[in-house]
Amino acid sequence: MKQFNKNNKYKYNIAVLPGDGIGPEVINASLKVIRKALKLDNILIKEKVYNWGSDYYKKNKLMMPDDGLEKLKKYDAIFFGAVGDEDIDDDITLWGLRLRICQGLDQYANIRPSKYIDGINSPLNLDIAKNIDWVIVRENSEGEYAGSGGIVHKDLPIEIGSELAVFTREGCRRIHDYAFKLASKRPKKHLTLITKSNAQKHGMKLWDKIFYEVKKNYPKVKTNKLLVDAATAVMVNNPEKIDVMVATNLHADILSDLASALTGSLGIGATANI
């Protein structure tokens, strides 16, 4: 994405997609905070609002226009609210907007930090909850959400639905490398590999293999390996044992929601697609 000319009074050019439901309310409130924070460093941003989402779909049968990605490419960042409508199938709203943007712009890293915040009630005992300080690095372009599959023999007794998880060497390499770089910059210098390669013995075996290949480039980063189901127990009972986690699209999707819930609310779960 392109950055504004340095001679321009605006340092960054931001596309704003408020989306559906609570999205516009959250975005409007967040922009006030962002503007105030940037003002401290005399940084100005230029914003352009695109009202794409479920209301747009009801009028146009598309979640965003055909040239939407081309419009977004000229911005430094996209500030995205929420998407979803009870009158529209969830796969339409998700694939028509968020996933279309992520895959179309190759935003392969989804970063989801979770940290205990004083004053927000956690379902955990306070002595346990205060140890939560995690970053989940989610592979964001392939894996279980690659979109590979289909329906065969539709509406017949032998109807079949397939959903193929896709793991490429490069897809695994770049997300593991991102996670190692991030872990190397944090005080604990610790990275946990989340996997399920005991049961998923093909794609996830490659996922594990590439992790340990990349690990050789980061000798100062300590590592651990957890099966995804075991990881949930560690997150609840011993949060101090985790710092940075790297996980597949599906696994990180679930674990990051658990992480937000443990810090007090899904509503305070931040995320960035990079």
In a shared domain, residues 90 and 113: no
Amino acid at residue number 29: A
In a shared domain, residues 254 and 132: yes
pLDDT in tens, 147-206: 999 999 999 999 999 999 999 999 999 999 999 999 999 999 999 999 999 999 999 999
State the total domains in the chain: 2
Distance between the two ends of the chain, CA-based, in angstroms?
Answer: 11
- Any residues with CB less than 8 A from the CB of 259 and at least 6 apart, and which? 112, 114, 132, 134, 136, 235, 269
Q: Is the pLDDT of residue 92 over 90?
A: yes
In a shared domain, residues 24 and 40: yes
User: Which pLDDT does position 8 carry in this prediction?
Assistant: 59
Q: Is the pLDDT of residue 59 over 80?
A: yes
- Mean of all residue pLDDT scores within the chain: 94
Q: Is the pLDDT of residue 3 over 70?
A: no
Q: Dihedral sign for Cα 186, 188, 189, 195, please.
A: negative
Task: Using CA atoms of 92, 95, 96, 101 in order, give the dihedral in degrees to the nearest 10.
Answer: 170
Is residue 123 within 8 Å of 261, Cβ to Cβ? yes
In a shared domain, residues 86 and 127: no
In a shared domain, residues 113 and 152: yes
- 195 pairs with which residues across the strands? 227
In a shared domain, residues 101 and 121: no
CATH of the domain at 184: 3.40.718.10
Band of pLDDT at residue 267, cut at 50, 70 and 90 = confident
CATH of the domain at 2: 3.40.50
Band of pLDDT at residue 269, cut at 50, 70 and 90 = confident
Band of pLDDT at residue 130, cut at 50, 70 and 90 = very high
Which of 105, 122, 145 is the endpoint of a domain? Answer: 105
In a shared domain, residues 49 and 177: no
In a shared domain, residues 112 and 233: yes
Spatial CA neighbour of 167 closest among 140, 137, 199, 142: 142
- What are the DSSP calls for 99-162, one per residue? HHHHHHTT--EEEEEEE--TTSPPSS-HHHHTT-EEEEEEE-SSEEEEEEEEEESTTSTT-EEE
Host domain of residue 244: 108-274
Q: Which structure tokens are listed for 206?
A: 């490659």
In a shared domain, residues 183 and 50: no
Which of 105, 126, 161 is the endpoint of a domain? Answer: 105
Mean pLDDT of 130-139: 97
Q: Is the pLDDT of residue 1 over 90?
A: no
pLDDT in tens, 9-51: 778 999 999 999 999 999 999 999 999 999 999 999 999 999 9
In a shared domain, residues 74 and 124: no
Percent of the chain past pLDDT 70, that is, above it, reads: 97
In a shared domain, residues 221 and 250: yes
Angle between helix axes 169-184 and 203-215 (nearest 10 degrees) is: 40
Task: Using CA atoms of 73, 74, 78, 81 in order, give the dihedral in degrees to the nearest 10.
Answer: -90
How far is residue 260's CA from residue 269's CA, in Å, rounded to a whole number? 5
Which of 68, 84, 105 is the endpoint of a domain? Answer: 105
In a shared domain, residues 74 and 196: no
- The DSSP code for 95 is I
Mean pLDDT of 82-105: 94
